[in-house]
Amino acid sequence: MMRYWIGIAACLCLLNCSPAFAQLTAHELYNRGVRYIQDGNLEAALSDFNQTIKYDPKYADAYYNRAYVYTKLNDFESALQDYDRTVELNDKNAEYLLMRGNAYYFLDRYPEALLDYTRAIEIDTSNAQPYFYRGITLLEYGEDADGCIDLKKAAAKGFFNAKRAYSDYCGGD
């Protein structure tokens, strides 16, 4: 009779504890996926992020890093889908908006890229990257004066490529 109650208790614990267990497993898979990215093993990272998302569909950083892997694999449509999901889960994260803007840029969807870069700047005015990418996009879009203003701001904030881009595209120092 004791085994019966222990069995029942174990089953109840599994039912009640499984979300926490899945969350921990998702976290472990996520961390391993990040290590795979660092090691350059993109296919293994992709697999781990897929599993992480399967366990926890609201794990924004898993979508973010899977999108990063897709970007490295030049699959910008898939990257954009995942960046869309990250922004859906947290639309106040400037990095998510910046990276989704980059996906739009690589898909030649400049108006959407510009919107995301602008939103990223509104969230974090101290970050030079959205100024730089918005400046490059504006130049690509034919808005040279505004593009040069953003490149100059990015250079003033210390973004490593901005000073050269400003010099090359805007004729400034």
Q: How confident is the model at residue 8 (pLDDT cuts 50, 70, 90)?
A: very low
Q: What is the 3-state secondary structure (H, E, C) of the chain?
A: CHHHHHHHHHHHHHHHHHHHHHHHHHHHHHHHHHHHHHHCCHHHHHHHHHHHHHHCCCCHHHHHHHHHHHHHCCCHHHHHHHHHHHHHHCCCCHHHHHHHHHHHHHCCCHHHHHHHHHHHHHHCCCCHHHHHHHHHHHHHCCCHHHHHHHHHHHHHCCCCCHHHHHHHHHCCC
Q: What is the predicted pLDDT for the residue at 17?
A: 41
What's the whole-model pTM score? 0.82
pLDDT value of position 141: 86
Report pLDDT for 10.
Answer: 37
Q: Over the chain, what is the mean pLDDT?
A: 88
Question: pLDDT (tens digit, 9 = 90+) per residue, 114-135?
Answer: 999 999 999 999 999 999 999 9
Q: Note the pLDDT tens digit of each residue in 144-173.
A: 999 999 999 999 999 989 999 999 999 876
Domains and CATH numbers, the chain: 22-90 (1.25.40.10), 104-173 (1.25.40.10)
- Percent of all residues in the chain with a pLDDT value above 70, rounded to a whole number: 86
